[in-house]
Amino acid sequence: MTQRSMAELEAKLDYFLDSPADVGTVELVVRRPDVDQREVLDEGELDPAVGLVGDTWIERGSKRTEDGASHPDMQLNVMNARIISYIAGDPDRRALAGDQLYLDLDITEANLPAGTRLALGTAVIEVTEQPHRGCAKFADRFGLDALRFVNSPHRRELRLRGLNAKVVTPGVVRPGDKVTKVA
């Protein structure tokens, strides 16, 4: 199992940040049917009520809601495909990050502030303000340096660990689909 050092990750920062700003690509769609399970999909259905159909977001609940229900602004976890591809090393390990959508797109706060809508496939999602941070599982799978790198407090605006989003227009998304900002 490859675990990248902080020096290796720092050396690739410019590459990670060089993702397209306006028109990117969906690289991977992943459903989480149960805890610690991943299904890489050829096609995913996005729905405003449940997020990615067949994913367990709705059942998981959230510590960020008063009643423990699923947080409506955390339906989808989105990560930059370049970052996870490098961190994971083996392409088959990318899905272990736990996100549903992996995009070759600049997902920094400067490029995609909360409220920005993205069209991908036939669906539209909206970036939310809820932060997305790495956890102990991320460290277990990719190493402590990887966790520290993506959670770096002085780089939070870069969203190296990713962002949260919600579905606003239902539709289908596939790897290879273009992803664009909606005016």
Q: How many CB atoms lie within 10 A of CB 49?
A: 10
Query: Averaged over 1-15, what is the pLDDT?
Result: 93
Domain residue ranges in the chain: 6-175
Query: Averaged over 149-161, what is the pLDDT?
Result: 94
Query: Averaged over 8-24, what is the pLDDT?
Result: 97
Mean pLDDT across the chain, nearest whole number? 94
CATH architecture of 6-175: Beta Barrel (2.40)
Q: What is the pLDDT of residue 155?
A: 92
Asked if the model's pLDDT at residue 70 lies above 80, the reply is no
| Residue type (1 letter), 37 | Q
Work out the pLDDT band at 134, boundaries 50, 70, 90.
confident
Query: Averaged over 118-131, what is the pLDDT?
Result: 96
Q: Please state, in angstroms and rounded to a whole number, the distance separating the CA atoms of residues 152 and 48.
A: 31
**pLDDT tens profile 163-181:** 999 999 999 999 999 999 9
Asked whether 76 and 168 are in contact (CB, 8 A), the reply is no
Asked whether 76 and 167 are in contact (CB, 8 A), the reply is yes
